[in-house]
Homo-oligomer: A and B are copies of this chain.
Amino acid sequence: MKTSDVLVDAINYIRKYSGEIFVIKLGGETLLDTEVVNSIAQDLILLSALNIRCVVVHGGGVEITKAMDAFGKKPTFIKGLRVTDKETVEIVEMVLSGKTNQQLVTSINKNGGQAVGLSGKSGCLFEGAKKGGRIDLGYVGEVKKTNPKVVLTQLDVGYIPVVSPICSTKDGDSLNLNADTAAAKLAASLNATKLIVITNVKGVLDKNKNLIKRLTVPEAKRLIKNKTILGGMIPKVEGCIEALQEGVKRTHIVGATKHAVLEEILTKTGHGTMVTLEKISD
Protein backbone atom coordinates (compact mmCIF):
# COMPACT_ATOMS: atom_id res chain seq x y z
CA MET A 1 0.00 0.00 0.00
CA LYS A 2 1.28 3.48 -0.85
CA THR A 3 2.72 5.41 2.06
CA SER A 4 0.59 8.46 1.34
CA ASP A 5 -2.57 6.33 1.30
CA VAL A 6 -1.65 4.86 4.70
CA LEU A 7 -1.14 8.41 5.99
CA VAL A 8 -4.42 9.74 4.62
CA ASP A 9 -6.40 6.81 6.04
CA ALA A 10 -4.64 7.07 9.39
CA ILE A 11 -5.27 10.82 9.65
CA ASN A 12 -8.94 10.30 8.92
CA TYR A 13 -9.18 7.72 11.71
CA ILE A 14 -7.19 9.96 14.07
CA ARG A 15 -9.53 12.87 13.34
CA LYS A 16 -12.49 10.58 13.99
CA TYR A 17 -11.22 9.14 17.25
CA SER A 18 -9.47 12.16 18.79
CA GLY A 19 -10.86 12.73 22.30
CA GLU A 20 -12.76 9.44 22.25
CA ILE A 21 -12.36 6.72 24.89
CA PHE A 22 -11.22 3.19 24.01
CA VAL A 23 -11.39 0.37 26.56
CA ILE A 24 -8.73 -2.26 25.97
CA LYS A 25 -9.23 -5.63 27.65
CA LEU A 26 -6.08 -7.70 28.06
CA GLY A 27 -6.57 -11.40 28.75
CA GLY A 28 -4.34 -12.90 31.41
CA GLU A 29 -2.88 -15.19 28.74
CA THR A 30 -1.39 -12.19 26.87
CA LEU A 31 0.55 -10.94 29.88
CA LEU A 32 2.99 -13.80 30.20
CA ASP A 33 5.36 -12.67 27.43
CA THR A 34 7.19 -9.47 28.42
CA GLU A 35 7.88 -8.59 24.78
CA VAL A 36 4.19 -8.66 23.96
CA VAL A 37 3.31 -6.58 27.02
CA ASN A 38 5.91 -4.00 26.05
CA SER A 39 4.58 -3.83 22.51
CA ILE A 40 1.01 -3.30 23.74
CA ALA A 41 2.24 -0.67 26.19
CA GLN A 42 3.92 1.18 23.32
CA ASP A 43 0.74 1.13 21.24
CA LEU A 44 -1.25 2.51 24.18
CA ILE A 45 1.25 5.33 24.58
CA LEU A 46 1.11 6.13 20.86
CA LEU A 47 -2.69 6.17 20.88
CA SER A 48 -2.69 8.45 23.94
CA ALA A 49 -0.36 10.79 22.05
CA LEU A 50 -3.12 11.07 19.45
CA ASN A 51 -5.57 12.12 22.18
CA ILE A 52 -7.29 8.75 22.13
CA ARG A 53 -8.12 8.13 25.77
CA CYS A 54 -7.14 4.52 26.54
CA VAL A 55 -8.39 2.58 29.55
CA VAL A 56 -7.03 -0.90 30.28
CA VAL A 57 -8.89 -3.73 32.02
CA HIS A 58 -6.96 -6.92 32.56
CA GLY A 59 -7.49 -10.53 33.63
CA GLY A 60 -4.96 -12.74 35.33
CA GLY A 61 -6.18 -16.34 35.36
CA VAL A 62 -2.82 -18.02 34.81
CA GLU A 63 -1.09 -16.12 37.60
CA ILE A 64 -3.98 -16.78 39.99
CA THR A 65 -3.70 -20.52 39.46
CA LYS A 66 0.06 -20.33 40.10
CA ALA A 67 -0.44 -18.37 43.33
CA MET A 68 -3.17 -20.66 44.62
CA ASP A 69 -0.81 -23.53 44.05
CA ALA A 70 1.88 -21.77 46.09
CA PHE A 71 -0.63 -21.24 48.90
CA GLY A 72 -1.53 -24.91 48.70
CA LYS A 73 -5.14 -24.20 47.62
CA LYS A 74 -6.69 -26.70 45.19
CA PRO A 75 -9.28 -25.26 42.82
CA THR A 76 -12.77 -26.79 42.98
CA PHE A 77 -15.11 -26.46 40.03
CA ILE A 78 -18.88 -26.91 39.86
CA LYS A 79 -20.15 -27.25 36.28
CA GLY A 80 -16.99 -25.63 35.02
CA LEU A 81 -17.18 -22.63 37.37
CA ARG A 82 -14.56 -22.03 40.01
CA VAL A 83 -15.77 -22.05 43.60
CA THR A 84 -14.21 -19.04 45.30
CA ASP A 85 -14.02 -19.24 49.05
CA LYS A 86 -12.76 -16.48 51.37
CA GLU A 87 -9.13 -17.57 51.17
CA THR A 88 -9.30 -17.87 47.39
CA VAL A 89 -10.71 -14.40 46.83
CA GLU A 90 -7.91 -12.96 48.99
CA ILE A 91 -5.37 -14.65 46.74
CA VAL A 92 -7.22 -13.53 43.60
CA GLU A 93 -7.21 -9.93 44.82
CA MET A 94 -3.53 -10.00 45.76
CA VAL A 95 -2.58 -11.37 42.36
CA LEU A 96 -4.82 -9.14 40.25
CA SER A 97 -4.26 -5.85 42.09
CA GLY A 98 -0.80 -6.54 43.50
CA LYS A 99 0.88 -8.39 40.65
CA THR A 100 -0.76 -8.38 37.19
CA ASN A 101 -1.96 -4.79 37.50
CA GLN A 102 1.41 -3.61 38.72
CA GLN A 103 3.22 -5.39 35.87
CA LEU A 104 1.16 -3.50 33.32
CA VAL A 105 1.72 -0.20 35.13
CA THR A 106 5.46 -0.89 35.22
CA SER A 107 5.57 -1.74 31.52
CA ILE A 108 3.70 1.40 30.45
CA ASN A 109 5.89 3.60 32.67
CA LYS A 110 9.11 1.92 31.47
CA ASN A 111 8.13 2.65 27.86
CA GLY A 112 7.62 6.34 28.53
CA GLY A 113 3.93 6.54 29.46
CA GLN A 114 2.30 7.31 32.78
CA ALA A 115 -0.03 4.63 34.06
CA VAL A 116 -2.13 4.60 37.21
CA GLY A 117 -3.11 1.19 38.56
CA LEU A 118 -6.59 1.04 40.07
CA SER A 119 -8.56 -1.80 41.56
CA GLY A 120 -12.28 -1.70 40.91
CA LYS A 121 -12.64 -0.63 44.56
CA SER A 122 -10.83 2.69 44.08
CA GLY A 123 -13.28 5.56 43.97
CA CYS A 124 -16.00 2.84 44.22
CA LEU A 125 -15.45 2.24 40.49
CA PHE A 126 -17.43 -0.99 40.58
CA GLU A 127 -20.17 -1.58 43.16
CA GLY A 128 -20.92 -5.30 43.24
CA ALA A 129 -22.91 -8.09 44.81
CA LYS A 130 -22.40 -11.81 44.99
CA LYS A 131 -23.51 -13.45 41.78
CA GLY A 132 -26.96 -14.94 42.15
CA GLY A 133 -27.97 -18.35 40.77
CA ARG A 134 -28.83 -21.74 42.17
CA ILE A 135 -25.29 -22.73 42.99
CA ASP A 136 -23.35 -20.66 45.55
CA LEU A 137 -19.97 -19.94 43.96
CA GLY A 138 -18.79 -17.88 46.94
CA TYR A 139 -17.01 -14.57 46.38
CA VAL A 140 -17.74 -14.25 42.68
CA GLY A 141 -19.38 -10.93 41.97
CA GLU A 142 -21.45 -9.13 39.43
CA VAL A 143 -21.35 -5.38 38.80
CA LYS A 144 -24.39 -3.53 40.13
CA LYS A 145 -23.24 0.01 39.48
CA THR A 146 -20.27 1.65 37.79
CA ASN A 147 -18.89 5.04 38.97
CA PRO A 148 -16.46 5.95 36.21
CA LYS A 149 -15.35 9.28 37.74
CA VAL A 150 -12.13 7.80 39.12
CA VAL A 151 -11.16 6.63 35.63
CA LEU A 152 -12.07 9.94 33.99
CA THR A 153 -10.03 11.77 36.63
CA GLN A 154 -6.89 9.92 35.54
CA LEU A 155 -7.64 10.41 31.83
CA ASP A 156 -8.16 14.12 32.32
CA VAL A 157 -4.58 14.62 33.48
CA GLY A 158 -3.12 12.34 30.83
CA TYR A 159 -2.64 9.12 32.78
CA ILE A 160 -3.48 5.68 31.36
CA PRO A 161 -5.73 3.96 33.92
CA VAL A 162 -5.15 0.22 34.38
CA VAL A 163 -8.05 -1.49 36.15
CA SER A 164 -8.15 -4.87 37.95
CA PRO A 165 -11.56 -6.64 37.99
CA ILE A 166 -12.09 -6.63 41.74
CA CYS A 167 -14.76 -4.87 43.78
CA SER A 168 -16.37 -5.14 47.19
CA THR A 169 -19.83 -5.64 48.64
CA LYS A 170 -21.49 -3.05 50.85
CA ASP A 171 -20.15 -4.97 53.83
CA GLY A 172 -16.61 -4.70 52.59
CA ASP A 173 -16.14 -8.24 51.29
CA SER A 174 -13.96 -8.54 48.20
CA LEU A 175 -15.47 -10.01 45.04
CA ASN A 176 -13.83 -11.46 41.93
CA LEU A 177 -15.33 -10.10 38.70
CA ASN A 178 -15.19 -11.58 35.20
CA ALA A 179 -12.75 -9.34 33.30
CA ASP A 180 -14.64 -9.45 29.99
CA THR A 181 -17.87 -8.38 31.64
CA ALA A 182 -16.15 -5.72 33.75
CA ALA A 183 -14.52 -4.27 30.62
CA ALA A 184 -17.88 -4.23 28.81
CA LYS A 185 -19.62 -2.49 31.73
CA LEU A 186 -16.83 0.04 32.09
CA ALA A 187 -16.82 0.76 28.34
CA ALA A 188 -20.57 1.37 28.43
CA SER A 189 -20.42 3.67 31.46
CA LEU A 190 -17.60 5.70 29.89
CA ASN A 191 -19.49 6.05 26.59
CA ALA A 192 -16.44 4.45 25.03
CA THR A 193 -16.29 4.41 21.25
CA LYS A 194 -14.53 1.07 21.12
CA LEU A 195 -13.93 -2.02 23.22
CA ILE A 196 -10.82 -3.85 22.03
CA VAL A 197 -10.28 -7.37 23.36
CA ILE A 198 -6.67 -8.54 23.03
CA THR A 199 -6.19 -12.28 23.16
CA ASN A 200 -3.82 -15.02 22.01
CA VAL A 201 -5.46 -15.74 18.65
CA LYS A 202 -5.66 -13.17 15.92
CA GLY A 203 -9.46 -12.89 15.93
CA VAL A 204 -12.59 -14.99 15.29
CA LEU A 205 -11.94 -17.82 12.82
CA ASP A 206 -14.38 -19.58 10.55
CA LYS A 207 -14.75 -23.36 10.04
CA ASN A 208 -11.66 -23.32 7.80
CA LYS A 209 -9.58 -21.45 10.37
CA ASN A 210 -9.65 -18.30 8.26
CA LEU A 211 -9.96 -14.96 10.01
CA ILE A 212 -13.43 -13.34 9.89
CA LYS A 213 -12.83 -9.58 9.44
CA ARG A 214 -16.33 -8.36 10.30
CA LEU A 215 -19.11 -9.92 12.31
CA THR A 216 -22.56 -8.69 13.35
CA VAL A 217 -24.18 -9.71 16.62
CA PRO A 218 -26.71 -12.05 14.94
CA GLU A 219 -23.91 -13.70 12.96
CA ALA A 220 -21.81 -14.07 16.11
CA LYS A 221 -24.67 -15.67 17.99
CA ARG A 222 -25.22 -18.13 15.13
CA LEU A 223 -21.52 -19.05 15.08
CA ILE A 224 -21.61 -19.74 18.82
CA LYS A 225 -24.75 -21.84 18.41
CA ASN A 226 -23.32 -23.89 15.56
CA LYS A 227 -20.05 -24.33 17.47
CA THR A 228 -17.81 -22.49 15.04
CA ILE A 229 -16.86 -20.23 17.96
CA LEU A 230 -15.61 -22.41 20.78
CA GLY A 231 -13.95 -22.46 24.22
CA GLY A 232 -12.23 -19.29 25.49
CA MET A 233 -13.41 -17.28 22.50
CA ILE A 234 -17.04 -17.54 23.65
CA PRO A 235 -16.81 -15.21 26.70
CA LYS A 236 -14.77 -12.72 24.61
CA VAL A 237 -17.43 -12.57 21.91
CA GLU A 238 -20.15 -12.41 24.56
CA GLY A 239 -18.33 -9.52 26.25
CA CYS A 240 -18.35 -7.71 22.90
CA ILE A 241 -22.06 -8.40 22.48
CA GLU A 242 -22.79 -7.06 25.96
CA ALA A 243 -20.79 -3.88 25.31
CA LEU A 244 -22.54 -3.34 21.96
CA GLN A 245 -25.94 -3.80 23.54
CA GLU A 246 -25.10 -1.19 26.18
CA GLY A 247 -24.13 1.39 23.58
CA VAL A 248 -20.47 0.90 22.64
CA LYS A 249 -20.23 1.52 18.88
CA ARG A 250 -17.62 -0.98 17.75
CA THR A 251 -15.82 -3.88 19.40
CA HIS A 252 -12.73 -5.66 18.19
CA ILE A 253 -11.00 -8.96 18.95
CA VAL A 254 -7.32 -8.73 18.13
CA GLY A 255 -4.26 -10.94 18.57
CA ALA A 256 -1.46 -10.03 20.95
CA THR A 257 1.16 -9.33 18.27
CA LYS A 258 3.33 -6.31 17.67
CA HIS A 259 1.34 -3.14 16.73
CA ALA A 260 -1.77 -5.21 16.07
CA VAL A 261 -3.88 -2.66 17.96
CA LEU A 262 -2.44 0.21 15.94
CA GLU A 263 -3.22 -1.48 12.65
CA GLU A 264 -6.67 -2.53 13.80
CA ILE A 265 -7.55 1.06 14.65
CA LEU A 266 -5.72 3.16 12.06
CA THR A 267 -5.98 1.18 8.81
CA LYS A 268 -8.89 0.24 6.60
CA THR A 269 -7.91 -3.42 6.42
CA GLY A 270 -7.45 -3.75 10.17
CA HIS A 271 -5.89 -6.72 11.90
CA GLY A 272 -8.45 -8.91 13.70
CA THR A 273 -12.24 -9.18 13.88
CA MET A 274 -14.60 -6.25 14.28
CA VAL A 275 -17.97 -7.07 15.88
CA THR A 276 -20.83 -4.60 15.47
CA LEU A 277 -24.56 -4.60 16.20
CA GLU A 278 -25.46 -4.46 12.52
CA LYS A 279 -23.63 -4.40 9.21
CA ILE A 280 -21.90 -1.08 8.68
CA SER A 281 -20.56 0.35 5.47
CA ASP A 282 -17.22 1.97 6.36
A residues near B, CB below 8 A? 1, 3-4, 6-8, 10-12, 14-15, 46, 49-50, 67, 70-72, 90, 93-99, 101-102, 105-107, 109-110, 114-119, 121-124, 149-150, 153-154, 157, 159, 166, 168, 170-172, 174, 258-259, 262-263, 266-267
How many chain copies?
6
| Given A11-B50, A109-B168: A159 and B123 interface contact (C-beta under 8 Å) | yes
CB atoms of A1 and B4 under 8 A apart: no
Contacts A109-B124, A159-B123, A259-B7 given: A93-B97 contact, CB under 8 Å? Answer: no
Q: Which of B94, B106, B122, B170 has a CB less than 8 Å from the CB of A174?
A: B106
| Majority SS at the chain A contact face | helix
A213 CB → nearest B CB, Å: 16
The answer to whether B122 and A258 have CB atoms under 8 Å apart is no
What would 13 more interface pairs be, CB under 8 Å, given A4-B262, A70-B71, A117-B122? A6-B6, A6-B10, A7-B263, A8-B46, A12-B46, A71-B71, A93-B99, A94-B94, A94-B98, A97-B102, A102-B166, A106-B168, A114-B124
